[in-house]
Structure 1
Amino acid sequence: MNGYLLDTNVVSALRRPKVFPQVARWVRSLPDDCMWVSVISMGEVRNGIERKLRSDLEQGRVLESWYETLQPFYGDKILPVDLEIAERWGQLAIRQPLAIADGLIAASALVHDLTLATRNTSDFEPHGVRVVNPFL
Protein backbone atom coordinates (compact mmCIF):
# COMPACT_ATOMS: atom_id res chain seq x y z
CA MET A 1 0.00 0.00 0.00
CA ASN A 2 1.24 3.49 -0.72
CA GLY A 3 -0.13 6.63 0.81
CA TYR A 4 -0.91 8.20 4.13
CA LEU A 5 -2.54 7.08 7.33
CA LEU A 6 -4.29 10.09 8.84
CA ASP A 7 -3.82 10.33 12.60
CA THR A 8 -6.77 11.33 14.75
CA ASN A 9 -5.54 14.92 15.04
CA VAL A 10 -5.54 15.27 11.24
CA VAL A 11 -9.04 13.80 10.88
CA SER A 12 -10.27 16.21 13.56
CA ALA A 13 -8.52 19.19 11.97
CA LEU A 14 -10.26 18.52 8.66
CA ARG A 15 -13.57 19.31 10.34
CA ARG A 16 -12.33 22.90 10.81
CA PRO A 17 -10.56 23.94 7.58
CA LYS A 18 -10.69 27.64 8.50
CA VAL A 19 -8.81 26.96 11.73
CA PHE A 20 -6.35 24.55 10.09
CA PRO A 21 -6.09 25.73 6.46
CA GLN A 22 -2.64 24.18 6.03
CA VAL A 23 -4.04 20.72 6.81
CA ALA A 24 -6.93 21.21 4.39
CA ARG A 25 -4.51 22.38 1.67
CA TRP A 26 -2.25 19.39 2.25
CA VAL A 27 -5.13 16.92 1.99
CA ARG A 28 -6.49 18.61 -1.15
CA SER A 29 -3.07 18.18 -2.77
CA LEU A 30 -3.34 14.39 -2.46
CA PRO A 31 -5.28 11.93 -4.60
CA ASP A 32 -8.35 10.63 -2.73
CA ASP A 33 -7.19 7.04 -3.06
CA CYS A 34 -4.01 7.52 -1.02
CA MET A 35 -5.55 8.48 2.35
CA TRP A 36 -6.42 5.91 5.01
CA VAL A 37 -7.81 6.11 8.54
CA SER A 38 -7.40 3.60 11.36
CA VAL A 39 -10.45 2.21 13.09
CA ILE A 40 -8.61 3.35 16.25
CA SER A 41 -8.89 6.99 15.12
CA MET A 42 -12.59 6.46 14.49
CA GLY A 43 -12.90 5.22 18.08
CA GLU A 44 -10.92 8.17 19.45
CA VAL A 45 -13.15 10.62 17.58
CA ARG A 46 -16.27 8.82 18.81
CA ASN A 47 -14.95 8.96 22.39
CA GLY A 48 -14.38 12.71 22.09
CA ILE A 49 -17.93 13.17 20.85
CA GLU A 50 -19.35 11.16 23.75
CA ARG A 51 -17.47 13.36 26.21
CA LYS A 52 -18.67 16.52 24.44
CA LEU A 53 -22.29 15.30 24.55
CA ARG A 54 -22.01 15.23 28.35
CA SER A 55 -20.60 18.75 28.65
CA ASP A 56 -22.24 20.58 25.72
CA LEU A 57 -25.16 18.75 24.17
CA GLU A 58 -25.59 21.16 21.25
CA GLN A 59 -21.93 21.03 20.19
CA GLY A 60 -21.91 17.29 20.78
CA ARG A 61 -24.76 16.89 18.32
CA VAL A 62 -22.90 18.99 15.75
CA LEU A 63 -19.89 16.70 16.14
CA GLU A 64 -22.10 13.63 15.96
CA SER A 65 -23.56 14.84 12.67
CA TRP A 66 -20.04 15.36 11.29
CA TYR A 67 -18.94 11.93 12.55
CA GLU A 68 -21.80 10.27 10.67
CA THR A 69 -20.23 11.51 7.41
CA LEU A 70 -16.83 9.94 8.12
CA GLN A 71 -17.66 6.28 7.60
CA PRO A 72 -19.33 6.80 4.22
CA PHE A 73 -16.53 9.19 3.18
CA TYR A 74 -13.61 6.91 4.09
CA GLY A 75 -15.50 3.66 3.43
CA ASP A 76 -13.05 0.86 2.68
CA LYS A 77 -10.16 3.21 3.56
CA ILE A 78 -10.83 2.56 7.27
CA LEU A 79 -8.19 0.05 8.34
CA PRO A 80 -9.14 -2.56 10.95
CA VAL A 81 -6.80 -3.90 13.61
CA ASP A 82 -5.90 -7.49 12.80
CA LEU A 83 -3.51 -9.99 14.36
CA GLU A 84 -0.50 -8.72 12.37
CA ILE A 85 -1.10 -5.17 13.59
CA ALA A 86 -1.64 -6.33 17.17
CA GLU A 87 1.61 -8.29 17.10
CA ARG A 88 3.54 -5.35 15.63
CA TRP A 89 2.13 -3.12 18.37
CA GLY A 90 3.35 -5.64 20.94
CA GLN A 91 6.85 -5.37 19.50
CA LEU A 92 6.78 -1.56 19.33
CA ALA A 93 5.66 -1.11 22.90
CA ILE A 94 8.77 -2.90 24.21
CA ARG A 95 11.24 -0.43 22.67
CA GLN A 96 9.77 2.72 24.16
CA PRO A 97 6.48 3.34 25.97
CA LEU A 98 3.65 4.25 23.64
CA ALA A 99 -0.03 4.75 24.43
CA ILE A 100 -2.10 1.82 23.22
CA ALA A 101 -4.07 3.86 20.67
CA ASP A 102 -0.92 5.51 19.29
CA GLY A 103 0.84 2.15 19.23
CA LEU A 104 -1.93 0.52 17.22
CA ILE A 105 -1.97 3.46 14.79
CA ALA A 106 1.84 3.25 14.46
CA ALA A 107 1.66 -0.50 13.89
CA SER A 108 -1.04 0.02 11.24
CA ALA A 109 1.19 2.47 9.38
CA LEU A 110 4.14 0.07 9.51
CA VAL A 111 2.20 -3.06 8.51
CA HIS A 112 0.52 -1.28 5.59
CA ASP A 113 3.68 0.65 4.59
CA LEU A 114 1.94 4.01 4.98
CA THR A 115 3.34 7.38 6.02
CA LEU A 116 1.59 8.65 9.15
CA ALA A 117 0.22 12.17 8.85
CA THR A 118 0.24 13.59 12.37
CA ARG A 119 0.95 16.67 14.41
CA ASN A 120 2.76 14.48 16.94
CA THR A 121 5.69 13.31 14.81
CA SER A 122 8.03 12.93 17.79
CA ASP A 123 5.72 10.30 19.33
CA PHE A 124 6.09 8.03 16.30
CA GLU A 125 9.56 8.65 14.85
CA PRO A 126 11.39 6.63 17.54
CA HIS A 127 9.37 3.61 16.46
CA GLY A 128 10.50 3.75 12.85
CA VAL A 129 7.25 5.15 11.49
CA ARG A 130 7.56 7.45 8.46
CA VAL A 131 5.79 10.67 9.38
CA VAL A 132 4.70 13.94 7.86
CA ASN A 133 3.31 16.93 9.73
CA PRO A 134 0.59 18.60 7.64
CA PHE A 135 0.13 21.26 10.34
CA LEU A 136 3.41 22.96 9.31
Structure 2
Amino acid sequence: MVSQISYLLDTNIISELAKPQPNSAVLQQFYVAQHEISISSIVWHELRFGWLRMPDGQRKQLITKFLHDVVSLIPILDYDAQAAKIHAEIRIQTQKMGNNIPFVDGQIAAIAMAQGLILVTRNTKDFQAIEGLRQINWFTDTIDR
Protein backbone atom coordinates (compact mmCIF):
# COMPACT_ATOMS: atom_id res chain seq x y z
CA MET A 1 0.00 0.00 0.00
CA VAL A 2 1.39 3.41 -0.98
CA SER A 3 0.64 6.14 1.51
CA GLN A 4 -0.05 9.67 0.46
CA ILE A 5 2.00 12.42 2.06
CA SER A 6 -0.22 14.70 4.14
CA TYR A 7 2.19 16.52 6.47
CA LEU A 8 5.30 18.67 6.16
CA LEU A 9 7.26 18.69 9.42
CA ASP A 10 8.98 21.86 10.60
CA THR A 11 12.45 21.76 12.14
CA ASN A 12 11.14 22.12 15.69
CA ILE A 13 9.12 18.90 15.35
CA ILE A 14 12.09 16.87 14.07
CA SER A 15 14.27 18.41 16.79
CA GLU A 16 11.73 17.36 19.42
CA LEU A 17 11.75 13.79 18.12
CA ALA A 18 15.55 13.73 18.37
CA LYS A 19 15.50 14.48 22.11
CA PRO A 20 16.33 11.63 24.51
CA GLN A 21 12.79 11.97 25.93
CA PRO A 22 10.58 13.63 23.32
CA ASN A 23 7.20 15.10 24.15
CA SER A 24 4.77 12.17 24.34
CA ALA A 25 2.06 13.93 22.31
CA VAL A 26 4.49 14.69 19.47
CA LEU A 27 5.80 11.12 19.53
CA GLN A 28 2.26 9.72 19.44
CA GLN A 29 1.31 11.89 16.43
CA PHE A 30 4.54 10.91 14.68
CA TYR A 31 3.67 7.22 15.02
CA VAL A 32 0.11 7.81 13.82
CA ALA A 33 1.27 9.71 10.72
CA GLN A 34 4.69 8.14 10.11
CA HIS A 35 3.81 7.03 6.56
CA GLU A 36 2.29 10.40 5.64
CA ILE A 37 5.11 12.76 6.61
CA SER A 38 7.77 14.68 4.75
CA ILE A 39 10.29 17.42 5.40
CA SER A 40 11.39 20.25 3.17
CA SER A 41 14.87 20.75 1.79
CA ILE A 42 14.93 23.88 3.98
CA VAL A 43 14.37 21.80 7.13
CA TRP A 44 16.98 19.28 5.97
CA HIS A 45 19.45 22.17 5.63
CA GLU A 46 18.63 23.46 9.13
CA LEU A 47 19.05 19.97 10.63
CA ARG A 48 22.30 19.30 8.80
CA PHE A 49 23.72 22.75 9.63
CA GLY A 50 22.89 22.28 13.31
CA TRP A 51 24.47 18.83 13.31
CA LEU A 52 27.67 20.09 11.63
CA ARG A 53 27.99 22.83 14.26
CA MET A 54 27.74 20.38 17.17
CA PRO A 55 30.91 19.52 19.07
CA ASP A 56 31.99 15.90 18.90
CA GLY A 57 30.59 13.82 21.72
CA GLN A 58 27.78 11.55 22.83
CA ARG A 59 24.98 13.99 21.88
CA LYS A 60 26.35 14.36 18.35
CA GLN A 61 26.61 10.57 18.06
CA LEU A 62 22.94 10.23 19.08
CA ILE A 63 21.89 12.88 16.55
CA THR A 64 23.98 11.16 13.86
CA LYS A 65 22.12 7.91 14.55
CA PHE A 66 18.74 9.72 14.55
CA LEU A 67 19.50 11.43 11.22
CA HIS A 68 20.57 8.11 9.72
CA ASP A 69 17.89 5.84 11.21
CA VAL A 70 14.86 8.15 11.14
CA VAL A 71 15.27 11.31 9.08
CA SER A 72 16.92 9.52 6.15
CA LEU A 73 13.66 7.58 5.66
CA ILE A 74 11.49 10.71 5.42
CA PRO A 75 10.86 12.10 1.91
CA ILE A 76 12.48 15.50 1.32
CA LEU A 77 10.48 17.98 -0.76
CA ASP A 78 12.35 20.63 -2.72
CA TYR A 79 11.79 24.35 -2.95
CA ASP A 80 10.76 24.34 -6.61
CA ALA A 81 9.38 26.90 -9.07
CA GLN A 82 5.81 26.55 -7.76
CA ALA A 83 6.97 27.02 -4.16
CA ALA A 84 9.03 30.06 -5.22
CA LYS A 85 5.93 31.59 -6.86
CA ILE A 86 3.85 31.01 -3.74
CA HIS A 87 6.65 32.28 -1.52
CA ALA A 88 6.79 35.58 -3.42
CA GLU A 89 3.01 35.93 -2.93
CA ILE A 90 3.35 35.15 0.79
CA ARG A 91 6.04 37.81 1.18
CA ILE A 92 3.91 40.47 -0.52
CA GLN A 93 0.79 39.49 1.44
CA THR A 94 2.53 39.49 4.83
CA GLN A 95 4.46 42.71 4.12
CA LYS A 96 1.20 44.49 3.26
CA MET A 97 -0.10 43.37 6.66
CA GLY A 98 3.06 44.67 8.35
CA ASN A 99 4.11 41.16 9.30
CA ASN A 100 7.48 40.24 7.85
CA ILE A 101 7.96 36.55 8.58
CA PRO A 102 11.45 35.03 8.43
CA PHE A 103 12.50 34.15 4.88
CA VAL A 104 12.98 30.43 5.62
CA ASP A 105 9.58 30.20 7.32
CA GLY A 106 8.05 31.61 4.15
CA GLN A 107 9.91 29.02 2.09
CA ILE A 108 8.70 26.17 4.31
CA ALA A 109 5.11 27.45 4.20
CA ALA A 110 5.29 27.81 0.42
CA ILE A 111 6.46 24.22 0.00
CA ALA A 112 3.56 23.01 2.17
CA MET A 113 1.07 25.07 0.15
CA ALA A 114 2.53 24.06 -3.23
CA GLN A 115 2.23 20.39 -2.27
CA GLY A 116 -1.19 20.73 -0.59
CA LEU A 117 0.21 19.63 2.77
CA ILE A 118 -0.47 20.49 6.39
CA LEU A 119 2.50 22.15 8.08
CA VAL A 120 3.33 20.56 11.44
CA THR A 121 5.01 23.13 13.68
CA ARG A 122 5.18 24.25 17.26
CA ASN A 123 5.53 27.85 16.08
CA THR A 124 2.00 28.32 14.78
CA LYS A 125 2.09 32.04 15.61
CA ASP A 126 4.98 32.51 13.18
CA PHE A 127 2.76 31.26 10.35
CA GLN A 128 -0.65 32.73 11.32
CA ALA A 129 -0.38 35.62 8.87
CA ILE A 130 -0.16 33.31 5.86
CA GLU A 131 -3.56 32.99 4.22
CA GLY A 132 -4.42 29.51 3.01
CA LEU A 133 -1.72 27.69 4.99
CA ARG A 134 -3.05 24.68 6.88
CA GLN A 135 -1.11 23.92 10.04
CA ILE A 136 -1.21 21.79 13.15
CA ASN A 137 0.76 21.81 16.40
CA TRP A 138 1.42 18.23 17.51
CA PHE A 139 2.26 19.48 21.01
CA THR A 140 -1.35 20.53 21.53
CA ASP A 141 -3.46 19.19 18.64
CA THR A 142 -4.22 15.66 17.54
CA ILE A 143 -4.70 14.25 14.06
CA ASP A 144 -8.34 13.65 13.21
CA ARG A 145 -8.86 10.13 11.88
TM-score when normalising by structure 1: 0.85
2:97 corresponds in structure 1 to none
Could you tell me which of 119, 122, 135 is aligned with 2:125? 122
Number of aligned residues: 130
Residues 33-76 of structure 1: CA deviation (Å, up to 9, x unaligned): 311110110100111112223xxx213343233223345311xx
Q: Which has the larger share of helix? A: 1
The percentage of aligned residue pairs carrying the same residue is 29
Give, as a single letter, the amino acid of the residue that structure 2 aligns with 1:68.
Answer: H
2:67 corresponds in structure 1 to 67
SS at match of 1:98: coil
Residues 76-127 of structure 1: CA deviation (Å, up to 9, x unaligned): x210111111121111112221212111100011111111110001111210
Distance 2:52 2:72 in 1: 20
2:8 corresponds in structure 1 to 5
Please give the residue correspondences for 1:18-57 in structure 2 after superposition, counting only pairs within 5 Å.
18-30=21-33, 32-53=34-55, 57=56
Cα shift at 1:17? 6.3
Cα shift at 1:18? 2.2
Gapped regions of structure 2 (runs ≥ 5): 95-99, 141-145
Gapped regions of structure 1 (runs ≥ 5): none
Distance 1:69 1:29 in 2: 18
TM-score when normalising by structure 2: 0.80
Give, as a single letter, the amino acid of the residue that structure 2 aligns with 1:132.
Answer: I
Distance 1:29 1:65 in 2: 22
Distance 2:20 2:71 in 1: 19
